[in-house]
């Protein structure tokens, strides 16, 4: 943490000949279980992790925001009276956030900013939410704005939905903002009620293995799923007006009206119903320290994401298959939006190196791709340092 903080402060001073007045930290996240349920107002079980994005900011008393992405050595100048999209995707995330400030009548002045990250890009650890939330927190602190944590979550989510046209829910932002050290959080995305749960894995640990692929259909494929879910709601509301989201459908109701749905829409809905129940079961197993049950639920989640929700890919499926051949792995699943990124694996702590070596070698032999392993710890969420 100190290394990246020193790096960002030095880069800021070198670039702008001044010390930053605000430093904001936003972590990445893992999601233990409850995938694609957030935009269906379901249940999720995420946690913030010890991979961060750090932002250094200082007012420059102009109408321009000068922002430098240190890791990729790219810069942008954004005029506060012109928030039209540009060519750099990362900068468009920030423009969308600034537009949300403007739409809330929060007055902003120009500032200088440098940011850097230890979150692997494209790995499914939610670097984009950390980018949004850390930037919002830093800009808010710089302008002494009184945004709440939920305001930050909402600003980021609405920017994604409305400016970037990414139809995501609030899982990623919530995780980055509300995380606590050594704890995961079960949240009901319909009510926004949440509870913290200590994560004691005994002789086991959570290991991420990155496929190092990200297929081009991720954006369209990801946006297709919320559209399909909305279509289910539209069709079933004809028969039951209480249905406002897939959260309001159970298996009895689904089977009652399944003839009015295509097989694809039936499968999408069944997955969400079953995944919500898996979140409840996982929390119960976690409290009972039933690690075998936890592993079984992870694998069931992956099968549902693969076969019913269809957001996996061959590389993710292969990593799960290879992991499950290992006696010291209790469960494995794809994590995140899908079509690439990481698998989440529950395995014996003292066997991690050997298990990952075998899995990675077999994966490389089959695909020609080098996978990457991350061991992460659960950490506190968004903060001003």
Rounded Cα gap, residues 146 and 152, in angstroms: 10
pLDDT band at 342 (very low <50, low <70, confident <90, very high): very high
pLDDT at 166: 84
pLDDT at 220: 52
Domain ranges of the chain: 2-198
Considering the segment(s) 2-198 as one domain, its CATH architecture is 2-Layer Sandwich (3.30)
Q: What is the mean pLDDT of residues 23-33?
A: 97
If you search the block for the tokens 């997955």, which residue do you land on? 271
Biggest alpha carbon distance in the chain?
67
pLDDT higher than 90, residue 147: yes
Question: Two tokens at 331?
Answer: 């469960």
pLDDT higher than 50, residue 352: yes
pLDDT higher than 50, residue 30: yes
pLDDT higher than 90, residue 78: yes
Top-confidence residue, 80 or 165: 80
Q: Which of 117, 127, 116, 177 is nearest to 342 (CA)?
A: 127
DSSP E strands: which ranges in the chain?
22-31, 43-44, 46-59, 64-69, 74-79, 111-117, 183-188, 194-198, 204-214, 329-334, 340-348, 372-375, 383-384
Q: Are 154 and 129 in contact (CB under 8 A)?
A: no
Counting DSSP H helices and E strands in the chain, the numbers are: 11, 13
Q: What is the CA 15 to chain-centroid distance, rounded?
A: 31
172 counts as catalytic: yes
pLDDT at 323: 98
Rounded Cα gap, residues 338 and 295, in angstroms: 20
Q: What is the CA 30 to chain-centroid distance, rounded?
A: 7
Q: Does the pTM of the predicted model rise above 0.85?
A: yes
pLDDT digits (tens, 9 = 90+) for 218-237: 455 667 999 999 999 999 99
pLDDT higher than 90, residue 148: yes
Residue 121 exposure: Cα atoms within 13 Å on the Cβ side: 7
pLDDT digits (tens, 9 = 90+) for 115-126: 999 998 777 788
Q: Are 32 and 344 in contact (CB under 8 A)?
A: yes
Rounded Cα gap, residues 91 and 300, in angstroms: 38
Size of the chain in residues: 385
Q: Are 34 and 304 in contact (CB under 8 A)?
A: no
pLDDT at 223: 77
pLDDT digits (tens, 9 = 90+) for 152-211: 999 999 999 999 988 788 999 999 999 999 999 999 999 999 999 999 999 999 999 999
3-state secondary structure of 323: helix
Top-confidence residue, 46 or 169: 46
Q: Are 38 and 170 in contact (CB under 8 A)?
A: yes
Rounded Cα gap, residues 296 and 290, in angstroms: 10
Q: Are 300 and 307 in contact (CB under 8 A)?
A: no
Q: Are 237 and 243 in contact (CB under 8 A)?
A: yes
Q: What is the mean pLDDT of residues 82-110?
A: 95
Q: Are 229 and 269 in contact (CB under 8 A)?
A: yes
Q: What is the mean pLDDT of residues 284-300?
A: 98
3-state secondary structure of 272: helix
Among residues 172, 240, 250, 380, the one annotated as catalytic is 172
CA dihedral defined by 171, 176, 180, 184, rounded to 10 degrees? Answer: 30
Q: Are 271 and 184 in contact (CB under 8 A)?
A: no
pLDDT higher than 90, residue 146: no
- Average pLDDT in the chain: 95
Rounded Cα gap, residues 127 and 132, in angstroms: 9
* Residues contacting residue 227 through CB under 8 Å, at least 6 positions apart: 167
pLDDT at 201: 95
pLDDT at 218: 45
pLDDT at 221: 67
pLDDT higher than 70, residue 217: no
């Amino acid at each position: 943490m100190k290394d990246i903080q020193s790096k960002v402060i030095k880069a800021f001073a070198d670039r702008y000949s001044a010390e930053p007045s605000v430093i904001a930290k936003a972590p990445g996240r893992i999601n233990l279980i409850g995938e694609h349920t957030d935009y269906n107002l379901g249940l999720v079980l995420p946690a913030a992790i010890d991979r961060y994005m750090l932002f250094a900011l200082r007012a420059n008393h102009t109408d321009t925001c000068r922002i430098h992405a240190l890791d990729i050595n790219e810069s942008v100048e954004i005029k506060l009276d012109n928030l039209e999209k540009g060519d750099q995707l990362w900068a468009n995330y920030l423009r969308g956030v600034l537009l949300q400030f403007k739409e809330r009548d929060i007055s902003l002045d120009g500032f200088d900013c440098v940011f850097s990250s230890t979150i692997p890009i494209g790995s499914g650890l939610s670097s984009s939410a950390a980018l949004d939330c850390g930037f919002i927190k830093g800009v808010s602190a710089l302008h002494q704005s009184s945004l709440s944590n939920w305001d930050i979550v909402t600003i980021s989510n609405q920017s994604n939905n409305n400016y970037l046209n990414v139809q995501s829910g609030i899982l990623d932002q919530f995780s980055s903002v509300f995380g606590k050290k050594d704890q995961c959080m079960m949240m009901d995305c319909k009510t926004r009620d949440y509870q913290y749960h200590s994560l004691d894995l005994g002789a086991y640990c959570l290991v991420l293995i990155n496929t190092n692929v990200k297929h081009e259909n991720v954006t369209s494929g990801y946006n297709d799923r919320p559209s399909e879910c909305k279509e289910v709601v539209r069709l079933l509301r004809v028969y039951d007006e209480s249905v406002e989201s897939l959260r309001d459908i159970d298996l009895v109701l689904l089977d009652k009206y399944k003839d009015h749905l295509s097989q694809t829409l039936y499968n999408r809905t069944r997955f969400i119903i079953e995944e919500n129940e898996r979140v409840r079961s996982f929390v119960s197993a976690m409290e009972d320290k039933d690690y075998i049950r936890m592993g079984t639920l992870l694998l069931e989640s992956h099968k549902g994401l693969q076969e019913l929700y269809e957001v996996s890919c061959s590389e993710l499926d292969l990593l799960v298959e290879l992991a499950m051949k290992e006696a010291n792995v209790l469960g494995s699943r794809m994590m995140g939006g899908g079509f690439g990124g990481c698998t989440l694996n529950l395995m014996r702590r003292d066997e991690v190196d050997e298990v990952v070596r075998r899995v990675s070698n077999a994966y490389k032999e089959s695909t020609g791709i080098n996978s990457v392993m991350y061991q992460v710890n659960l950490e506190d969420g968004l903060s001003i340092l």
